[in-house]
Amino acid sequence: MPNEKNHQFILYHKPVGVTSFQALSPLKRTWGKKLGHTGTLDQFAHGLLGVLTGNLTKLVPLLTGLDKIYEAVVEFGRQTDTLDPEGAVICQGRVPVLEELQESLTKFHGELWQIPPEYSAVHVNGKRASQLARAGASVDLEARKIEIFDLKLLDWNPPFAKIRVHCSKGTYIRAIARDWAISMGTCGMLTSLFRQQVGPFQCPEHQEILSPRQLFQSLNIPVYTTEQPEQARFGRPPSLWGSWAPVPQLALMDTDDNLVAVLKWDGDWQYHFVCA
């Protein structure tokens, strides 16, 4: 029987000053090398990393699609090449006034097209944009559709604006800082970034561990237990195993509470595998 502790979801507060990969090192000593996480954080940033262990790593594609909530501090009148405190200053400009901030902020709601920062993990011709930028190569990134569900100005202490952003996956807060400043005819960058929440999961003060069932409960995904897990692993549809009431998604687990698959309702008593 698999060791239960090897199949968990860990809510981990990544500290400032380490990469997401480096932050996983102490966890690997406890949970083993088979870890997955739900979205990287820049070295200067801190906040929630959702870490999956054991056979739960197959849920990475499901959890990376969750929306996120950040608190960030934007500095106006100065910009680095990386759009954060770790880069070299490439632009200086004026500091806007409060009325400008409030008026321009209304433009950053709903569906938007955003160009990722040059120093980012986006792949261009098989290489990360940040690798190309550090090598001095020209980086041409395409705009991507994102969604800003909510953006609030929490505090204004010129030249620093503290904001709270609720956004879709794939949103770069550094790019929001850049574009917000550009909309007012100046330049800007992030000085700090805190990821408060990923989907329903909030950043803990200390490490928290959720069992697979607790994870699915938080995601409002019902769990079904099967005594024939191999049928799912070989792709047989659950409609062959009994008459279940249709739900948008369901998690299938074996009698030892090991994840077998996550499936999505297709209609007509048919499900397809989100992961298996």
Q: Count CA within 13 A, CB hemisphere, residue 1.
A: 7
Whether residues 173 and 87 share a domain: the answer is yes
Specify the DSSP element, H or E, that contains 9: strand 9-14
pLDDT for position 62: 85
Residues in contact with 127: Cβ distance below 8 Å, sequence separation at least 6, in sequence order? none
Whether residues 172 and 248 share a domain: the answer is no
Confidence of residue 3 (pLDDT cuts 50, 70, 90): very low
Whole-angstrom distance, CA of residue 270 vs CA of residue 238: 7
pTM of the model: 0.89
- Taking only the tens place, the pLDDT of each residue in 122-135 is 666 666 666 655 76
Whole-angstrom distance, CA of residue 228 vs CA of residue 182: 58
CB atoms within 10 A of CB 69: 20
Whether residues 105 and 165 share a domain: the answer is yes
3-state secondary structure of 74: strand
Fill in the amino acid letter for 32. G
Which of the listed residues 177, 211, 245 is the one where a domain comes to its end?
A: 211
| 149 in any annotated domain | yes
Q: Tell me, yes or no, if 150 is annotated catalytic.
A: no
Determine the structural domain holding residue 270 and report its residue range.
221-275
| 167 in any annotated domain | yes
Phi, psi of 59 (to 5 degrees): -90, 0
- Taking only the tens place, the pLDDT of each residue in 39-48 is 889 999 999 9
Q: What is the CATH number of the domain that holds 12?
A: 3.30.70
| 264 in any annotated domain | yes
Tokens found for residue 56 = 């739960």
Q: How many domains does one find in the chain?
A: 3
| 216 in any annotated domain | no
Whether residues 187 and 229 share a domain: the answer is no
Confidence of residue 31 (pLDDT cuts 50, 70, 90): confident
Residues in contact with 144: Cβ distance below 8 Å, sequence separation at least 6, in sequence order? 113, 114, 115, 116, 170
Q: What is the CATH number of the domain that holds 248?
A: 2.30.130
CB atoms within 10 A of CB 157: 8
- The average pLDDT across 107-113 equals 95
- Taking only the tens place, the pLDDT of each residue in 171-212 is 999 999 999 999 999 999 999 999 999 999 999 988 999 999
Which of the listed residues 135, 164, 198 is the one where a domain comes to its end?
A: 198
Whole-angstrom distance, CA of residue 256 vs CA of residue 276: 16
